[in-house]
Structure 1
Amino acid sequence: MDQTRNDDGAFPASDPQAQVDKIRPIPRISIQAFCETESVSHPIEMAGADRRMAKAHLKVQMGGIKAAIEHFQSAPTPNLVILESRQRPQELIGELELLADVCDPGSKVVMIGHHNDVALYRDLIHRGISEYLVAPVSLADVMSVIGDLFTAEGAEPLGRTIAFVGAKGGVGSSTIAHNVAWSIAKLFSSDVVLADLDLAFGTANINFDQDPAQGIAEALFSADRIDDVYFDRLLAQCADHLSLLAAPSVLDRTYDFPGDAFNALIEIAQRGAPAVVLDVPHSWNEWTRSVLSRADQVVITATPDLANLRNAKNLVDNLVKLRPNDSLPFLVLNQLAMPKRPEISSAEFSEPLGVEPLAEIVFDPGGFGNAANSGRMIAEIDSKHPAVSVFHHIAHVLTGRGEAKKQKKGGLLEKLRLRA
């Protein structure tokens, strides 16, 4: 899997990984594929294991169109049938006519052939085939065609989820998540929902000087009746275009959740905002693993010491396994140049992870402490603070809007270094 990014941290538009990253979750559908070669069956099987296909049910069999005809003589056809054939155009059309006799008319059919023939393509489309692809196909090809076929025409796209998690407690992941959410809302006048998933000890309400009566706990414990209207009532307005789903301010109960507890809540948030920022607590259990594995992008915050390096490496390795078709997580190195503290250099830290830092933030307890105690973001306290340009840079990269304008070298950049 090619993980090469542009200088701004994003993937080139022609990069297959960029195509995959743009694909939205596939709805609850059934898919059966009948292949003739491993070069076609393998990317289809990879698609079936992708997080965006979690709701779909995919089965891959060998044998091509003949196997499909035999199978559907005694079984109902699924929502989508994917077929591979190495037959020449005339023979292919003949086999498809036999298949039509046993296929339900409501099923969609995607044909993967080995002949790049415009006349064949037109003939297949005229006969009701949904799409014709020429082998070999990639994971991006398979995922894209499924997504295109089962996305409602005119439907608004789901918002992208960006999960922030710390490699260790106290590394500033929440502070970065909150400030980046604020930057996205301010820079692009785009609606953002910030969800504080640390129900026991979340700080988003304090950092934004909010004290809502209800928040994320009510949404989770009322999952059976939550809808868009109820969800909107739980949001606290923090700034123009920025809404907060706050964690409780008291420890009046324990919070133990199954792995899929947050799925419905996040999906509702995605329907109402182009960006959903998830402030994930530093813990490793079923639900945090599920949230991180399903997020569109993951940002790991770490400080430059050995414990953080070990934990960050474990996180990256596990997320690569959980998200085999996704881009690597982003890395933010925080609290650099702390007086009298020895630290691992940026190059030494990133090398075993295989991830270059998206940004590096210098230790500044005064600036960040003043902002936290005031219940405001860094940019609201001091718009010229060097961290503001970092948060804007991260916001540009995560939203795919290119790179924020960089400052000239020297001056502030000697204290605060940006890396794409």
Structure 2
Amino acid sequence: SPPPSYVAPETASHADVLAGGDAALGETSVPRITIHAFCVRPETSAMIEAAAADRRMARASTVVRTGGLDAAVDLYQNQSTPSLVLVESLDSAQRLLYQLDALAQVCDPGTKVVVVGQTNDIALYRELIRRGVSEYLTQPLGPLQVIRAVSALYADPAAPFVGRQVTFVGAKGGVGASTLAHNFAWSMSERMQSATVIVDLDLPFGTAGLDFNQDPLQGVIDALTQPDRLDPVLMDRMMVRCGDRLSLLAAPATLDQDYEITAEAFEEVTQKVRGAAPFVVLDLPHSWGAWTRKILIGTDDLVVVATPDLASLRNAKNIVDLVRQARPNDAPPRLVLNQVGVPGRPEIPVKDFGEALGITPSLVLPFDPKLFGQASNNGQMVAEVAPKSKAAEGIDYLAQLISRREAPAVQKTSMLSGLFRKK
């Protein structure tokens, strides 16, 4: 019997899918600041160390000390205070306020203070804020809560929003990662009705232009060769519209030049593109370098596309292990098993494949060369060719899962309305 069109992850709940707002936006990084943390409990010290090692804290310099508020007051008697002082206290509210007054006497102007306490008391919180404390956090506390609290303190209200970055990478060549990335971006814009940008980073062989039936004069290579000049106006010129809410930053897909682009240029461009739409989909080539590693580790959502064979399993495991080690505070990558059920081909069972990686596949797509081939040759998406197909249904499900929202309800129209559409 044919495999299922998609498999819901065991850890995903209906609430996860519906969670919108901040959960659907891109993560921002902590700027280049110095942070001193004064902890009382070893568990808090370990948690702050874990936060400091996170990818979003890479630019900050963090020093963790013991001793709590008393140690902070003693230290700053003889030296200047850093950008941010984080202090843990297990004392009563009265003692805490007394120690904070002492800390205020030795703090330099501009230093922000975050207090980690035990009491979840709104009156205490208001008093701390009144005294100039930037934030009050209560236990239990995790690394991500600390990172987001610090990020919020240094967020620039005038800065543009940061879109959520979703990166598709193939475990090996030919698994259909690019095709799925393009169809996913289309589903995000059409089904989820969210402005989306697809960025084709396979410079010599990218197929996004073909899949969307576009042949733009400018594209991602123009951005990568002049990243310092890339502003919203220039970016808009380089993109081509593929729909009301979908824009494409296409690859040149020619062999007329050698593409020697630095990792810093890729990082700068991909970060700037995140300000162009709520969702940015990166189509990563099946190659390896410093820039691909940075994108894999720095992206908000990583989708690994594989086929059920041994080479895909080995490569997917290498990618997943690398990312898990570098992103201990993030959810694991999402796994998509594609082209399942090729006639006559021995395959690793879906359950065994997922167990080997320690990941339940988010999506399992059956082998359907006629549908995908027709869509590719027509310069269309799968949902345009066969909107009720299992493949279209599965890709829409993946878009819903990653966007953390449900598709807007389709407005019902009169049966006669179609007769009056403009030709």
TM superposition score normalised by structure 2? 0.88
Match 1:26 to one of 23, 30, 37: 30
- Secondary structure at the residue paired with 1:58? strand
1:261 shift after superposition: 3.0
Equivalent position to 1:57, from 48, 61, 69 = 61
What RMSD in Å do the two structures reach over aligned CA positions?
2.5
Q: Deviations over 1:31-82 (max 9, x none)?
A: 2211122111222111111122233332222222233223333443233211
Q: Distance in 1 between matches of 2:121 and 2:368?
A: 63
Q: Do structure 1's residue 381 and structure 2's residue 362 form an aligned pair?
A: no
Which of 135, 147, 150 matches 2:151? 147
Mapped partners of 1:151, 1:192: distance in 2: 23
Matched AA of 2:64 = V
Q: Which residue of 2 aligns with 1:97?
A: 101
**Match for 1:288 among 278, 287, 292?**
292
Cα 1:9/1:322, change in 2 over 3 Å: farther
Matches of 2:155 and 2:60 in 1, distance apart?
Answer: 13
Distance 2:46 2:24 in 1: 16
Give distance in 2, aligned partners of 1:104 and 1:317: 43
Residue in structure 2 matching 1:221, options 206, 222, 225 = 225
Task: From 392, 395, 411, give the equivalent of 2:396.
Answer: 392
Q: Does 1:6 align with 2:12?
A: yes
Question: Post-superposition shift, 1:359?
Answer: 1.1
The answer for the alignment partner of 1:410 in structure 2 is none
Aligned 1:319-334 pairs, distance under 5 A: 319-334=323-338
Provide the residue aligned with 1:235 in structure 2: 239
Show the 5 A alignment for 1:248-267.
248-267=252-271
What is residue 275 of structure 2 aligned with on the other side? 271
Cα separation, partners in 2 of 1:9 and 1:111, compared to 1, 3 Å: closer
Aligned runs of 1:7-406 on 2, under 5 Å?
7=13, 10=16, 23-153=27-157, 157-402=161-406
SS state at 1:239 partner: coil
TM-superposed deviation, 1:190: 1.4
Look up the equivalent residue of 1:227 and give its one-letter code.
Answer: D
Matched-pair contact (CA < 8 Å) for 1:6–1:12: no
Distance (whole Å) between structure 1 residues aligned to residue 250 and residue 300 of structure 2: 21
Q: Tell me the CA shift for residue 169 of structure 1.
A: 0.6
Write out per-residue CA displacement over residues 313-345 of structure 1, whole angstroms, 9 at most, x where no aligned residue.
111111100111110111111111111111111
CA shift at 1:200, angstroms? Answer: 1.7
The unaligned stretches of length 5 or more in structure 2 are 1-8, 410-423
Q: Which structure ranks higher in relative contact order (CA pairs < 8 Å, sequence separation ≥ 6)?
A: 2
Q: Partners in 1 of 2:26 and 2:66 — Cα distance?
A: 29
Q: 2: CA distance between counterparts of 1:404 and 1:173?
A: 26
Deviation at 1:21, TM superposition (A): 8.9
Check conservation: 2:17, 2:405, Cα contact below 8 A: no
CA distance in 2, matches of 1:116, 1:365: 58
Instruction: Give the 3-state SS of the residue equivalent to 2:274 in structure 1.
Output: helix
* Deviation of 1:8 (Å): 5.7
Report the CA distance shift for 1:12/1:209 in structure 2 as closer, same or farther (over 3 A).
Answer: closer
Distance 1:93 1:6 in 2: 42
In structure 1, how many angstroms separate the alpha carbons of the residues matched to 2:354 and 2:266? 31
Q: Distance in 1 between matches of 2:197 and 2:345?
A: 36
Task: Provide the rounded CA distance (Å) in 2 between the counterparts of 1:402 and 1:320.
Answer: 28
The code of the aligned residue for 2:12 comes to N
Distance verdict in 2 for CA 1:27–1:80, change over 3 Å: same
- In the alignment, the residues of structure 1 paired with residue 83 and residue 234 of structure 2 have an alpha-carbon distance, to the nearest angstrom, of 32
SS of match in other structure, 1:357? coil
Amino acid at match of 2:85: V
After superposition, the Cα gap between the structure-2 partners of 1:237 and 1:82, relative to the gap in structure 1 and judged at 3 Å, is same
Contact 2:175 / 2:338 at 8 angstroms: preserved in 1? yes
Alignment partners' CA distance in 1, 2:316 and 2:92: 52
- Distance in 1, Cα, partners of 2:159 & 2:10: 32
**SS at 1:253 equivalent:** coil
Whether contact under 8 Å (2:25, 2:162) holds in the other structure is no
In 2: Cα distance, 1:4 partner to 1:104 partner = 50
Q: Where in structure 1 are there 5+ consecutive unaligned residues?
A: 406-420
